[in-house]
């Protein structure tokens, strides 16, 4: 069986509607709009919903995109938020996800498959497509991810699964570099 082919577009105003389609009416998990790691907890809660959506729309207008939208046969089905680790205020202060070394990294902070396309085996393919995009566009050659690894047959909920599932990152070629908590590996991939 061959893997599906996902095409990638950087988030710009031109594909904003596609981003909204993937995020759904709630903006991902609880009005996040992929701003969870970019703001302090107070800013995030004050902006929850429409404020976070407006903040992401402003980021989409910048020269450096805050992430990419994925398409399957022209249909928007996936999102990945990323950036230089320094772009993520909350991550810098996190005891769980604080930097493990001084290596410059592109942090993958949100990996989302549209609700009606989940359980189709797209996640690892999507992660690989994002890395292919970064290989062509990023000067930083190390990609870092912060997935969850639910144990005992449990499923990760939308609030924790936003960073992706560890097995999908392994399938996409990432390796674990540390594990600050039993269910939270930090994983890396070297771009060619």
SS3 state at 83: strand
pLDDT value, residue 156: 57
Residue whose structure tokens are 């893997």: 3
Instruction: Yes or no: say if 8 and 129 are a contact pair by the CB < 8 Å rule.
Output: yes
Strands (E), the chain: 6-10, 67-72, 75-84, 106-113, 142-145, 175-181, 184-190
Judging by DSSP bridges, how do beta strands 142-145 and 184-190 pair with one another?
A: antiparallel
Q: Is the pLDDT of residue 3 over 80?
A: no
SS3 state at 88: coil
pLDDT value, residue 157: 55
pLDDT value, residue 139: 96
Identity of the highest mean pLDDT range in 26-30, 51-55, 87-91: 51-55
**DSSP letter, residue 102:** S
Q: pLDDT class for 119, splitting at 50, 70, 90?
A: confident
Please give the average per-residue pLDDT across 45-59, as a whole number: 94
Take residue 126 and report the two structure tokens written for it. Answer: 């999507």
Residue whose structure tokens are 């031109």: 14
Calculate the average pLDDT of the chain.
Answer: 92
Please give the average per-residue pLDDT across 172-189, as a whole number: 96
Judging by DSSP bridges, how do beta strands 67-72 and 106-113 pair with one another?
A: unpaired
pLDDT value, residue 2: 62
Instruction: Yes or no: say if 163 and 147 are a contact pair by the CB < 8 Å rule.
Output: yes
Give me the domains of the chain, ranges plus CATH numbers.
6-190 (3.40.630.30)
Please give the average per-residue pLDDT across 159-184, as a whole number: 91
Q: Is the pLDDT of residue 20 over 90?
A: yes
The pLDDT tens digits of the residues spanning 5-15 come to 899 999 999 99
Q: Is the pLDDT of residue 142 over 80?
A: yes
What is the percent of the chain where pLDDT is above 90? 76
What is the percent of the chain where pLDDT is above 70? 93
d(CA 64, CA 69): 14
C-alpha distances in Å from residue 189, one per residue of 63, 136, 176: 25, 15, 9
d(CA 9, CA 11): 6
Please give the average per-residue pLDDT across 158-171, as a whole number: 84
The contacts of residue 184 (CB under 8 Å, 6+ apart) are 96, 97, 146, 147, 148, 149
Q: Is the pLDDT of residue 160 over 70?
A: no
Backbone angles phi, psi at 89, to 5 degrees: -50, -50
pLDDT value, residue 114: 93
pLDDT value, residue 29: 80
């Amino acid at each position: 069986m061959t893997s599906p082919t996902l095409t990638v577009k950087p988030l710009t105003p031109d594909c904003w509607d596609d981003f909204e389609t993937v995020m759904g009416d709630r903006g991902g998990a609880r009005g996040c709009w992929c701003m969870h790691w970019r703001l302090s907890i107070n800013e995030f809660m004050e902006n929850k919903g429409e404020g976070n959506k407006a903040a992401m729309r402003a980021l989409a207008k910048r020269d450096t995109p805050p992430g990419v939208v994925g398409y399957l046969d022209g249909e928007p089905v996936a999102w990945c938020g990323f950036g230089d680790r320094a772009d993520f205020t909350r991550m810098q202060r996190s005891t769980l996800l604080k930097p493990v070394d001084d290596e410059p990294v592109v942090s993958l902070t949100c990996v989302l498959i549209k609700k009606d396309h989940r359980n189709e085996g797209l996640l690892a393919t999507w992660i690989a497509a994002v890395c292919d995009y970064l290989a062509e566009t990023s000067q930083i050659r190390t990609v870092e991810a912060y997935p969850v690894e639910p144990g005992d047959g449990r499923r990760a909920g939308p609030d924790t699964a936003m960073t992706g599932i560890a097995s999908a990152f392994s399938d996409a070629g990432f390796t674990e570099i540390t594990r600050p908590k039993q269910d939270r590996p930090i994983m890396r991939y070297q771009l060619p």
